[in-house]
Structures are given as C-alpha cells and as structure tokens.
Structure 1
Amino acid sequence: PEEGLERCNRCAPGTFLPYLGAIDLIECQRCEAGQYASEPGSDTCKLCPPGEYGPSIGMAQCLKCPSGYFQDEAGSTTRSSCKRCPKGTFSTREGANRCPFCEIGTFSNETGSVSCYSCVPGTYLDVIGMTSQEDCKQCESGLQAPSYGMSECVVCPAGTYNPLTRQSECAKCPEGTYGQKQGAREASECDQCPRWRFTSSPGSTS
C-alpha cells in the first residue's frame, strides 16, 4: 500500500492475490482460463461452474452456454465444451448444466432444441423424453384427444360416439336419437327416441 493509506487497495475483479503483505497492485495475478474472480480483493479464483466456460485469463465472469446447449463439467475453457441437447431433451435457458427431458405429450426430434413439439390432436404421449412425432400414439375408437400435447385420450362423453382412430373430437348422436353410454364407437349405439318423444338437438343424452 502507499504510505499513509488507512486501508489496502484491493485486487481488481478477474485477479487474485494468495498471500499477505503485498506492496503493489502488479502483484495481483490474473485468473487462469476456466476460472474467474467476480469480487475485488479475491485471494483465489473459482472454477467456472457447469454450464459456463472461461476462454481467456483474467475473467471476472464466465460465459454461459447458449440455450439448447448444456455443459456438465466445472472449469471448462472453450465454447466447444458446450454440448447440444440430445434428441428428446431441451434447454430454454442459457448456462444449463443439463437438458430436461421433453414432458409427456411432447417430443424433440432435433439436437440443440430450446423447446419440444406437442403431439397433434387425435394423438397422445404418456412417456417423457421421446424423439419423434411417430412416438405419439393414436387414440382408439370411442376416444378423443381434442388438444395439442395430451398425455392421454379422453372417453367420448354420453351423447357422442367415435368409430375411427386418431380423432380430435367425437361425433354427436344424430337428431332423433340420444346416447347415455360413454365411449360409444358406433352411431348404432345411440338409442332411438320413443315415439312420443323427440329431440332435434344432436348429441342429446336423454
């Protein structure tokens, strides 16, 4: 320190000083590549955490791997240490140390994905980490999947039926008929109204 100073100067961020009694700032040492010192006055450097890398010496902060990539080791020094998320996984944020699996109802057929695709209506997916739209399963007759990204099919409600597979909605029982059964597969499962009663509304349940 300079003569007359009441307190010592601190080494700048990106540098450190591992011993006592230094008399000049030139004694501060730069952090090596793959390390950083974010605070002034550091006595040691820290390894860049997983998800980040330090390509040069004297860094105050490490650089983050971009979205769609991950890095699972500390102390990395190059951008190439960031690896693309495998198929069936994704990463929406920078600096990820792992890539989460695509959730049920979704899939990822590319590496380096920042999001997963949803199974289309009429299909569903009840397993995580899938890698292709072909993994989405078709709803059977008597069932429907009305939305994107469904994890299971829904039974056709009373008053409707579905004779086909891969359908997003069930057909309504025609006029003059009603349906009390859930999961009907054929229009013939809709009951005829009694002669003294009539319904003009398709999809009636009574």
Structure 2
Amino acid sequence: MPGYYCDNAAANDSTACPVGTYNSKAGSSSLQACVNCPVGSYNKNTGQSSCTTCARGYYCDAIGATRQKPCPVGTRNPQVGSTSSRACVKCRIGTYNRLIGRTTCTICARGYYCDTIGATHQKACPAGTRNPRIGSTSSRACIKCPIGTYNRLIGRPSCTICPRGYYCDAIGATHPKPCPVKTYNPKAGSTSSQACIKCPVGTFNRVIGQSSCRRCPSRRACV
C-alpha cells in the first residue's frame, strides 16, 4: 500500500515510510521508495502517501522536513507552500503582530499607534490624549484632550467630558478639577473655575466637587 514498503518477501507486515518522506506507490520493496518531502512541504507522520503543503504563516525550507516553521512575531505570510523565511513579510507601519505563524497583520486599534515596520505590539496614546482612528502610524495621531474634557487612562479613542461639580481648564488634562467647598457646578463640560458658583443663602456645601448645594437644616444657620 502507498506510504509503506515490504523489503522481506517472507514477512507479512509492511514497514511505514519514516517522517519527512512519502511513497505514492503501492507494492514497494525498498526503503528507497520513500522519497524526501520537497521544500515547501513536510510530513510529521509515518506511512504517508504524500507530503503536506506548508500552511500560510509558515515556511518549509529543508528537504525531508518533519515540521513547518512559523513566521516570527511582527511578520505575516499569506502564501501556502513557502520555501524560505523570506516569505515572512514584516508588518507595515500602522499594523502589528504579537503572535507567530500569522497570515495577516493586525490593524492598530483606536487609541494606539504603530510607528515601526515589523511591530510586535501597538503603542498606547498617553493619558490626556485621544485617537479616534485605526491604523495610526505616528504618535502625532494622539490628540490632546480639549478643555472641558480629560483622560486619566492611556490608549483611549475619546476624551471624557468633565463631570458636574468639576471643571477642566487645561488642554490635555489627565483629571478634572473639583469645585471647592461652599460652591457647586450643575453643568458638565465646564472649562473654567468660574463655573463653580457660590452656594446661595440658605444652602451649604462641605464637600468638594458637588453639582448642587444642600438646604440648611431648619432653625440652624449655614456656615
């Protein structure tokens, strides 16, 4: 049968061709019938009638290969049957690959950028910035948050609107600033400390960052 040979006519059992070889013919009588797999293919099992074509993301650069070799991180290979590591193409800028044996590169996500060829990871935009686009190729894609917004986290596609009781008066803010005690701010997205209004008579605030003032207890003065 294909994939085997019988070198002893008296024997009832056939011998399997070794790994890295194949035999497409039946009735073979010698180990010489087992042919080494050509480059671009491999065989990890014995007794095979054909070799397996090297898959996408891999290459087989040796005759008689028993396994396929993965393309390294930061590269891709969309072709089957590759015979050299040169088939592993570096990821272009704006993309990356953190895994081996890949057929395509991953597009850099929103909030990140990929500024080198053959990148193995994406770089996060810093706190206080945003990047709403995919596939960015430079840190210049990280835009500072406008006043009235902030970002305390890295790798964000958008900035957070300054909440009620706070204000954001600087470009590229990483945190909102709270209105002081005895004041309040009922509006979101404030851009100045002037948005912090003094509590009117008959109300009070002992805590910072409030959106409203509390009524004074009956028969008691507010301080």
The answer, yes or no, to whether TM exceeds 0.5 is: yes
* 1:180 is the counterpart of 2:186: yes
Residue 50 (structure 2) pairs with residue 44 (structure 1): yes
Q: Partner of 2:170 in structure 1?
A: 164
How many pairs does the alignment contain? 206
Residues 144-167 of structure 1, C-alpha deviations (whole Å, 9 max, x = no match): 111001111111111001122211
Residue 10 of structure 1 aligns to which amino acid in structure 2?
A: A
Q: Distance in 2 between the 1:6 and 1:195 partners?
A: 107
Larger radius of gyration: 2
What amino acid does structure 2 have at the position aligned with 1:31? C
In structure 2, list runs of 5 or more residues that go unmatched: 1-5, 213-223
TM-score (ref. length: structure 2): 0.88
Distance 1:92 1:26 in 2: 43
Matched with 1:150 is 156
C-alpha RMSD over aligned residues? 1.3
Match of 1:189 in 2: 195
Deviations 1:16-63 (A, max 9, x none): 011111011111000111111122111111221111111110001111
State whether structure 2 residue 84 is matched by structure 1 residue 103.
Answer: no
Deviation of 1:123 (Å):
0.7
Deviation per CA, 1:66-124: give whole Å up to 9, x if none.
Answer: 11111111111111221111111111111111111111111111111111011111111
1:8 aligns with 2:17: no
Aligned to 2:216: none
**Within the alignment, does 1:122 sit opposite 2:124 as a pair?**
no
- TM-score, length-scaled by structure 1: 0.95
CA distance in 1, matches of 2:29, 2:127: 72
Q: Percentage identity across aligned positions?
A: 29
Instruction: Give runs of aligned pairs for residues 3-82 of structure 1, distance below 5 A.
Output: 3-82=9-88
Query: Structure 1 CA distance, aligned partners of 2:146 and 2:119?
Result: 31
Instruction: Point out the structure with the larger strand share.
Output: 2
